[in-house]
Structure 1
Amino acid sequence: MRRMFGNLLFVLVLPAMPILSGTPPAPAARPSTGALPAAAPPGIRSPAAIVADLNTGRVLYSKEADQARPVASLTKLMAALVLVESGLDLNTSQTITKTDHRLVKRGAPSRLRSGCAYTHRDLLHAALMVSDNVATVALGRSMGWTPEAFAHRMTLRAVEMGLSHTRFTDPTGLDAGDVSTAREMLAILQAVLNQPVLQSTCQKELYVIIPVSGKGHPILYRHTDAYIRRHPWDILGAKTGYTHPAQYCLAIGAALDGRPIGMVFLGAIGDLTRFGDYSRVMRWLTKQSRPPAVTG
């Protein structure tokens, strides 16, 4: 059973979304170096980053974009993609168990209560909006997958997508073995944005879930990207991540003058640095009279 929190749920529904249905940018291709744009490129502080026009696949900015790094909870983008592509029934429910909590005890505490059942749709929102690790393993269990089997399926999907530097050892991003590159995470982000149910989930700012059974209470989730919701640009979808090995990460799609821009920032030292990088890129692009040439 899913609930929207009255008028508090602000979802940016953009008519431009169909333009995301084109061919994703080839993750293995390296951009050719071109002339710098008139304005200086943004001072990106994240160690690895990429910015691209999702309509054309044109890379607008890159920095160590092919360096393999831990990606923390950006891993859940691939987890969600595999779940939906494998036919997850969003309207059925799963009961949270103590084992679900035990499997991810290294991560942040979950607000999902053992013994309470939630719809798969609600668990998907918990996984993508607030990076709930318990929700992620519970969804895998609904498909009959152990965390190891789930991660294996995710790695196979990466291989199918031609992502040669991406592999997963668990579906939540808690393991340092969940690695990818900024360029390959951008391809995963676009695949997620091309799935309507995932795009709309990643786009929401607020969402309320209510257990369909058990003694749990309603839970209000606020997207972990809430800091950047104050900016004027329309967000198509976003996912944050943090572990000590990965540091702070962000994958985000935003609309600029009707064209979708995809961005991935990996390894930022501070929590706000990744959001600052997003703001710097959007201000930089706004100043351009034409799409800038490739740099980096």
Structure 2
Amino acid sequence: MGCRIRAIALVCGLMSLLGLPAAMAAPNPAKLQLKSGSALVMDVNTGKTLYQKNPTQVRPIASLTKLMTALVVLDAKQNLSQTLTVDQNDRDNLKHTYSRVRFGTKVSRRDALHLALMSSENRMASALARHYPGGRAAFVRAMNNKARALGMRNTRYYDSTGLSTRNVSTAQDLAKLISVAYRQPLIRQFTQNDSMEMRFSNPSYSLMFNNTNPLVKNPDWDVRLSKTGYTDEAGRCLLMRAKPDRQELAIVLLNSVGKRTPIGDANRIRKWLKS
């Protein structure tokens, strides 16, 4: 036993001389004070939950819904080059949110998916569901079937945009969604893009779209997947898989008050992990 202890001490000493970090205990969860109503932080490589706050509380999830929307579209293996038309049926009659996308706009399924994920464009998410075999009703059934298959027991979907307050989930369930969504290269790619100009040919116009998560522009965060959401009922929400400071994390933040609160909480998590 004495030899083993001396060997461990020698290894730790060598690591210190070489500037390599020795194994450290996980930070104390009591020292992390987040403003989000529910939260979960997981080490992706070990699968260990580092922090959780109200992880099983069911809450509205707003546009976090669109990650499941994307999974259903990709699972169906629909032609991503097919042209979809955004029309009056894609108007938001629930929250009456504004969209710069004009009715009559024609767009490829791929571009609609891109804008729904990167910029949380509601009309695009609506059009994706309308152009699904069987229409919106079949699309929503597929969303709920997928949730059940993933073991998301406390998750329910009623529309593809997240505008419905009946779209609900938990931090624990959404951590499972992050894991599955990450396996889709297009979802990773589209949610990492910080901005893009979209040119529409019919009618002819162009618009600049930005990512709704400002952390994708910060190379120190090394964001690999993200999705934001907001309604009055859901508060500010953020799902993210990122690798700040060489530790890959899955982060779920729900029901934050204040536009910058999820970003503030994410930075608090990062500071806490360094402590």
Q: Output the TM-score relative to the length of structure 2.
A: 0.85
* Letter aligned with residue 264 of structure 1: V
By how many angstroms is 1:260 displaced? 2.2
Task: Give 1:272's aligned amino acid.
Answer: R
Query: Which residue number in structure 2 is paired with residue 265 of structure 1?
Result: 253
Q: Read off the aligned partner of 2:46 and give its amino acid letter.
A: T
Structure index of larger Rg: 2
Structure 1 position 223, deviation (Å): 0.3
Q: Which amino acid aligns with 2:60?
A: P
1:69 offset after TM fit, Å?
0.6
Residues 104, 134 of structure 1: 8 Å contact kept: no
Matched residues in 1 for 2:79 and 2:192: separation? 20
Greater relative CO (CA pairs within 8 A, separation 6+): 1
CA RMSD between the two structures: 2.0
Distance 1:64 1:105, change over 3 A: closer
Between structures 1 and 2, the one with greater helix share = 2
Moved over 4 A (4+): none
How many angstroms apart in 2 are the aligned matches of 1:172 and 1:115? 19
2:212 equivalent to 1:224: yes
Partner of 2:99: 110
| Between 168-177 and 84-93, the greater mean CA deviation after superposition | 84-93
1:86 matches 2:105: no
Give the match for residue 198 of structure 1. 187
Deviation by residue 1:192-240 (Cα, 9 ceiling, x = unmatched)? 11100111111110122212x3123112111011266346211111111
- Distance in 2 (alpha carbons) for counterparts of 1:284 and 1:162: 30
Quote the Cα distance in structure 2 between the aligned partners of 1:52 and 1:39: 12
> What does residue range 270-289 of structure 1 map to in structure 2 within 5 Å?
270-285=258-273, 287=274
Equivalenced residues, count: 251
Q: Which runs of 5+ in 2 are unaligned?
A: 1-24
What's the offset of the Cα at 1:149?
Answer: 2.7
CA offsets, 1:166-202, max 9 Å, x none? Answer: 1111111111110000111111112111100111111
Distance 1:137 1:66, change over 3 A: same
What secondary structure does 1:210 align onto?
Answer: strand
Match of residue 162, structure 1, among 151, 162, 167: 151
Map of 1:52 onto structure 2: 42
CA deviation string 1:22-42 (max 9, x = no partner)? xxxxxxxxxxxxx86368632
Give me the TM-score of the superposition, normalised by structure 1: 0.79
